[in-house]
Chain A
Amino acid sequence: MSKVELNKETGPREVFCGLTSIVWLHRRMPDAFFLVVGSRTCAHLIQSAAGVMIFAEPRFGTAILEEKDLAGLADAHEELDRVVNDLISRRPEIKTLFLVGSCPSEVIKLDLATVSEKLNKRFLGQVRFVNYSGSGIETTFTQGEDGALKALVPLMESTDDEKLLLVGTLANNVEDRFKKIFNHIGITNVESFPPRQSTELPKIGKNTKVLLTQPYLSDTVRDLKHRGCEIIYAPFPLGVEGSSKWFLAGADAFKINELKVHEVIAPLANRARQALEKHTEILRGKKLFLLPESQLEISLARFLHNECGMELIEVGTPYLNKDLMDEELNLLPDDTKIVEGQHVEKQLDRVRATSPDLVVCGMGLANPLEAEGISTKWSIEMVFSPIHGIDQAADLAGLFSRPLKRNQILTSKTLATH
């Protein structure tokens, strides 16, 4: 058992809510549409988080609640019907429509489950309706993906076939790579969840072995377990160490000899370690402070400490699932300070007091910290960039070494005006 120091903190936060997951989920499943049932704030949030500029016509939208919807709930259901009709006639290519609950729809107790059921009957064979909540009163950032995946589990058909199921959204190239490596190791039946098409859900059952690719899927994991799946506990596939242990755990579940795994991944690991060197040169001995946002913080801290030699000041996480994180916590140095939750002001006080070389944080805090002379890295980049796997270890390290490198290039000397 690891002797890391676990703390809890409450207070004002500075994190995205679960709705934000939509911005990567809609790219993963291009045949799906995400309709947030919420306020103008919710609409503005996803628009701002996604960047107004990237999508010609996004595959997400918001049904904005108005005063008249708040007055009578029956109306709201009819209104939602109307909006959904509009949407589907406009976008006939939609195969799955996620109705996404938000804070306001939760507070007024809008029953999206019933709405989905009705719509499912009406659009039978054309569009499938699924509902979940990405509300900020219940979820942060990546937990939205947990909600979306959990909502899909009941739709997955049963099978007794033996298979390895990789769970959590990955970049396509990383996913392909993982499958290929597992094939080399000797596991041929490897599938992914979420799939690349929302309609191609993998089948699951008692011979399905689940290997998580992302640490924030607590609820999905619980439901997969209920469906009989076996959960393989492992560190997450970030960095050479995490990825190697992850592959080993997967192979072990299929009773594949460790030597066989080493044979496949050793060359990759050697190559990756070499590539890592130019980054560790910059990162070694530097002080790192991770503010909570994505739940990837613990795995990132483990990688940046163990493989890049960074010193951990504090590792924040919005939520800590001890079961899923146990393997990670064991790999951290004994005195690591983990803080679950947040009081953003107090946390920033600690940042200033400990003057870290690098802070991992959300987009709202990055420029203000830079203005105070503290280098930063956005958490959101970790959910958009291909960072998983042995082959990506150096790229992952590069995300953190780049801001420090910039500091070396743009010193007070080079920027001096006299």
Chain B
Amino acid sequence: MELTLWTYEGPPHVGAMRVASSMKDIHYVLHAPQGDTYADLLFTMIERRGQRPPVTYTTFQARDLGGDTAELVKRNITEAVERFKPKTLLVGESCTAELIQDQPGALAKGMGFDIPIVNLELPAYSKKENWGASETFYQIIRTLLKDKVNEIDKINPQRWKSLGRRPKVNILGPTLLGFRCRDDVIEIQRILSEQGIDTNVVAPLGSSPEDIERLIDADINVCLYHEIAEISCEWLKRNCGMEYTTTIPIGIKNTINFIHEVHEKLDLPLTNKGELENKSKLPWYSKSVDSNYLTGKRVFIFGDGTHAIAAAKIAKDELGFEVVGLGTYSREMARQVRAAAKDLNIEALITNSYLEVEDAMKKASPELVLGTQMERHSAKRLGIPCSVISTPMHVQDVPARYSPQMGWEGANVIFDDWVHPLMMGLEEHLIDMFKHDFEFVDGHQSHLGHTATNAPDNKETKQAQSNMNIQEKSILWTESGKAELTKVPFFVRGKVKSNTEKYALSKGLPEINDETLYDAKAFFG
């Protein structure tokens, strides 16, 4: 048994729903009790979609359990096929249905429909959402392509030359409820087409079963989100020799590396190398004088594997931050995240528990948190600015404007999204100059800062601070010490406080006054 207060991932059938809802002409019959229909609101509320997910729930009740739930499943399958006329039917079960072992997938297969039926076996008690999405996508591809791949020869990534057409790729992995997937696809397609590369199929997002059958018309696959598409890419490679890219084009460097990787795989010479450097504003913006203050900002990163790894690289190489924490809840990507952390000389945090993440965050005392919806909360409690870079997310992370994470425009978006919660450089100096002004409000935020941090009326922060005070009451701060501490800008105050306390303890000082604070400052440099 695992105690959770909040969870990063839903059950695997929610992953399956993400794939089904991303596609056209597909219907998913889900053997589940009535309450599991809540999953619809993830799509209609968080993503603000105007369509219901294409899911029929069998809605079994306690009184059905003694009787024939299998009949109920069959009735619902028949009704769903008649009503929605899908071109492919997915059949699966949620956690409770798994326990009563009706095997709806097998039942459906025996009902004599003339459409492909994908039997989804998603073990709800050992697996989670991303795994469920990845497995569902893979099972759809396998079911729809099984016969075809046996007939075709190994796909040569350079065959476009002999076929006398432009190179074609598939973009695999984007789904609904992924982080800015729809915009990423647009951005990547644009970048590829600038290079003379066509998109054959984007899947699952926006694809139909017919599109899945056309996957093998492409020369290579672009694996855009490892969590969702890696298994499928592997299968396509194993069974028809299709190569796939592994670089995730988030950030300038990775976008350039991605373009190189695609070109190499396709054996397509890169003609406009020099131009690539100037495609995004990020490199100049982070070099501009106003970004001086970004130098060495301590940043804590947590999210799904793909976004966390990318964020660490951007933070370090493209913004000049110091990465003081890196972790993920995606156990499937633990290895890659560990490797990325090792490069940064830190230890990766692989966990499901947002409380552990909060603790790690507290210890690292960062100046900026890049995380999920949960980290937004923890950061708020701790009075640290935060930007959300990964699912799980809130409706506010699904903006109306074009807002990709990938490619050139993605890098621009990232610059804005990460930097705005911090205080803009010039203002930082101004605050220093004007902090004794009567209009100065402690905890002032940039007018650009849309993430409220320790606004005076923020109860949670006050609570967190008073908790902190209780825990640390062993060290006494004198009035002069406290007064000096309040003069320290709020975003480094936590760090200064704990450093000073550490210093005082090491020196065996009974109390901390203003002088101690300066001594500590000098000591730590």
Q: Which one of A16, A106, A107, A365 has the highest number of Cβ atoms from chain B below 10 Å of its Cβ?
A: A107
Give every chain B residue within 8 A of A191 (Cβ-Cβ): none
State which of B5, B41, B392, B460 has its C-beta within 8 Å of the C-beta of A364: B41
A410 at the interface (CB under 8 A from B): no
List the A side residues contacting B56 at CB < 8 Å: 12, 345
Instruction: Flag whether A386 is at the interface (Cβ < 8 A).
Output: no
Considering only CB atoms, which chain B residue lies closest to A367 in the complex?
Answer: B44
Determine if B394 is an interface residue (Cβ-Cβ < 8 Å). Answer: yes
Q: Is A83 an interface residue (CB 8 A)?
A: yes
Q: Give the most central of B13, B36, B57, B381: most A CB within 10 Å.
A: B36
Q: Which 8 A-B pairs have the closest CB atoms?
A: A17-B35, A371-B50, A136-B35, A364-B40, A39-B95, A136-B33, A103-B96, A79-B1
What are 11 of the A-B contact pairs (CB < 8 Å)? A16-B38, A43-B7, A47-B7, A56-B380, A58-B5, A58-B6, A62-B4, A108-B99, A136-B35, A137-B61, A140-B35
| CB-based contact A80/B1 at 8 Å | yes
Chain B residue at smallest Cβ distance from A144:
B35
Residues of A within 8 A of B40 (CB): 14, 364-365
B7's contact among A44, A49, A363, A371, by CB below 8 Å, is which? A44
B377 within 8 Å of A by Cβ?
A: yes
Q: Enumerate chain A residues within 8 angstroms of B124, measured Cβ to Cβ.
A: 39-41
> 1/0 per position for B55-85, CB-CB distance to A under 8 A?
0111111101100000000001001000100
Task: Give the CA-CA distance A368 to B47 in the complex, in Å.
Answer: 12
Interface string of B1-16 (1 = CB under 8 A from A): 1111111011101100
- Interface presence of A64 (CB below 8 A): yes
Q: Closest A-chain residue to B35, C-beta based?
A: A17
Q: How far is the CA of A280 from the CA of B75 in the complex (A)?
A: 44
A379 CA / B275 CA spacing, docked (Å): 55
Most buried by B among A52, A58, A83: A52
Which residues, 6 to 52 on B, are CB-close (under 8 Å) to A?
6-7, 9-11, 13-14, 33-42, 44-45, 48-52
Asked if B374 is an interface residue, CB under 8 A from chain A, the answer is: yes
Number of interface residues of B (CB under 8 A): 61
Cα A366 to Cα B59 with chains together (Å): 20
Q: Is the CB of B83 within 8 A of A345?
A: yes
Is the beta-carbon distance between B99 and A56 smaller than 8 angstroms?
Answer: no
Which positions 339-396 of chain A face chain B at CB distance < 8 Å?
345, 362-368, 370-371
Question: B474: CB under 8 A from chain A?
Answer: no
Report the separation of the CA atoms of residues A23 and B282 in the bound assembly, to the nearest whole angstrom. Answer: 43
Partner of B394, one of A39, A53, A58, A368: A53
Partner pick for B76 among A12, A67, A104, CB 8 A cutoff: A12
Q: How many Å from the CB of B451 to the closest CB on chain A?
A: 13
* Residue A61, interface by CB 8 Å: yes
Interface membership of A87, Cβ < 8 A? yes
Q: B94 at interface (Cβ–Cβ under 8 A)?
A: yes
70-85 of chain A: CB within 8 A of chain B: 70, 76, 79-80, 82-83
In Å, the complex CA distance between A20 and B49 comes to 23
Q: Which of A64, A140, A367, A370 sits near B1, CB closer than 8 Å?
A: A64
Question: How long is the Cα–Cα vector from A87 to B3 in the complex, in angstroms?
Answer: 8
Interface residues of A in 1-18 (CB under 8 A from B): 11-18
Nearest CB of A to B43, in Å: 8
Is B113's CB within 8 Å of the partner chain A?
A: no
- The answer to whether the Cβ of A66 comes within 8 Å of any Cβ in the partner chain is yes
CB-nearest residue of chain B to A14: B37
Known: A40-B95, A56-B460. A66 touches B61 (CB 8 A): no
Are B37 and A13 within 8 A (Cβ)? yes
Q: Is A275 an interface residue (CB 8 A)?
A: no
Expressed in whole angstroms, the minimum distance between the Cβ of B26 and any Cβ of chain A is: 17
The answer, among B7, B13, B49, B125, for a CB contact under 8 Å with A65, is B125
Among A12, A51, A64, A82, which residue has its beta carbon within 8 angstroms of that of B57? Answer: A12
B100 contacts the other chain (CB 8 A): yes
B128 at the A interface (CB under 8 A): yes
Task: Establish whether residues A364 and B38, one from each chain, have CB atoms under 8 Å apart when the complex forms.
Answer: yes
Contacts of B11 in A (CB 8 A): 39-41, 44
